[in-house]
Amino acid sequence: MTIESYIQVMPKVELHVHMEGSTRPETLLKLAQRSQVELPASNLEELRKWYDFVDFDHFLEIYIKIGECLRTVDDIELIAREFLASQAEQRIIHSEVTYTPYIQHKFNGISFDDQMTAINRAMAWAERELGVTMSLTIDIPRGVSSEEGIMLAEWAISGMDRGVTAFGLGGPEVGNPPERYREAFDKARAAGLHSAPHAGEMAGPESIWGALRALHADRIGHGVRCLEDPDLVEELRARQVPLEVCPTSNVCLKVVPDIESHPLPQLLDEGLYVTLNTDDPPMFNTTLVDEYISAARILRLGVDTLEELSLNALRASFLDEDTRKKMEESFSADFRQLRKEHLDE
């Protein structure tokens, strides 16, 4: 048996993945045809070519087009169900998913309450039928006003009894510093939500410092550019702030030139708290299984390290302590048994 077969069946947790950005091309085509939204491609083959990542502006174009096509609550439930089914196929037991309700509200007038109802139907179905769970990080899309950020914090707070566990910040970092949304994050944190902003991807260490100091981040989305600032590395190491690292996304967005150059091994060598994630899997032509395989085959991480990355994600999750403890015991038992079945030791 092979490391690939082991990675496929080993239990995993994912902390950095966008629900809308997980929409498959074939689903987008179906939604667009149903809602009569014009796409820059008329068939699936052309749409898949359009999905091939070009640059960040192109990425945002696709993301916005997905938002335009989510016209009804049934559309939202559909993409949530398909996402959760894909996670289950990869044996991702729990996912903490970034969701941007502002886009669906802006383009299609769907209330936050209705969006949450749709997603909760999908979550209940997945837990019942597939045995996987999900919680939500409601995020601010950078570029909205600070007042709109506060509105989104209020939305997130209202969803705390329906699976919302964190408040996030996504979108273009450059020109949109974390400090702009300090008040929104203060409001969310005071209500009991965790802070999980994106930082240190398209912008450098100053963005991560802002996320730590202004937004009191519990986790950092991406964070790979911390290596440009030794003082920041020391801060992150001392505090063991989890980094949600997305290698293939980093390559596509030209944060690094190729997977072979990815700093994942260096981040680990520096003693930083690292987790492995996909970001927007179909847009970057990846899966979490693919990310683990690349880590093993290209970045030469051993099985012990792969298992530790999985446990890191579980331990950094916003699940309650009892659930985390039980899941960790289950993961560890699975690792031992699956090694016997899939690896030659």
Residues assigned a catalytic role: 201
Contact between 291 and 247 under an 8 Å Cβ cutoff? The reply is yes
**What are the Cα distances from residue 336, in Å, to 4, 92, 179, 307, 339?**
16, 18, 45, 10, 5
Tokens 């090694």 correspond to what residue?
A: 339
* C-alpha closest to that of 304 among 335, 326, 325, 328: 335
| Rounded Cα gap, residues 219 and 267, in angstroms | 15
| Rounded Cα gap, residues 210 and 226, in angstroms | 12
Q: Phi then psi for 21, rounded to 5 degrees?
A: -75, -5
* CA 22 to chain CA centroid, nearest Å: 10
| Rounded Cα gap, residues 284 and 212, in angstroms | 28
Q: Phi then psi for 246, rounded to 5 degrees?
A: -130, 85
* C-alpha closest to that of 241 among 266, 263, 262, 270: 270
Half-sphere exposure of 131 (CA within 13 A, CB side): 7
